[in-house]
Each structure stands twice: as C-alpha cells, then as structure tokens.
C-alpha cells in the first residue's frame, strides 16, 4: 500500500469516528454499532468526550473571506 492510500484510510477512520461520537445522542444504536466496528477505545460511544476544536487549524484570512469582508 502506498503512503497516500494509508493516509486516506487513516483520515477516513478519524472522520468517521468523530462523526459517530457527534451523532451518538441523535442515533444512539447506529452510532454504537459503527463505533464498535471501528474498534473504539472505550466500552461505549456514549462514554467518549466530544472532540475539542484544534485552534491551530483556524485560518483568520479564510474566515474573513467567508464573511465577505
């Protein structure tokens, strides 16, 4: 497997795990099933904390463009 393919799989896994955690209050049974198949670190998706924002990823220039300024 190439490095690009491994990076794509890792990114997809990380995003799917994050969406599963965020969706857990709204679709609990489906989120639990997906979380377990992904090999979640805890016993249940409902024991996970919500992901914290990454302040280093904020691009003030892009935010300004999006506001139309």
Place 1 in a pLDDT band, splitting at 50, 70 and 90: confident
pLDDT of 69: 62
pLDDT of 11: 94
Main-chain dihedrals φ then ψ at residue 34, nearest 5 degrees: -65, -45
Place 68 in a pLDDT band, splitting at 50, 70 and 90: confident
Mention every residue, 6+ apart, whose C-beta is less than 8 A from residue 18.
51
Q: Which residue has the higher pLDDT, 23 or 68?
A: 23
**pLDDT tens per residue, range 11-63:** 999 999 999 999 999 999 999 999 999 999 999 999 999 888 889 989 999 98
């Amino acid at each position: 497997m190439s490095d690009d393919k491994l990076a794509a799989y890792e990114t997809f896994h990380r995003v799917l795990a994050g969406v599963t955690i965020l969706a857990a209050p709204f679709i609990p049974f489906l989120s639990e099933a997906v979380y377990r198949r992904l090999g979640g670190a805890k016993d249940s998706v409902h024991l996970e904390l919500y992901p914290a924002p990454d302040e280093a990823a904020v691009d003030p220039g892009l935010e300004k463009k999006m506001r139309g300024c």
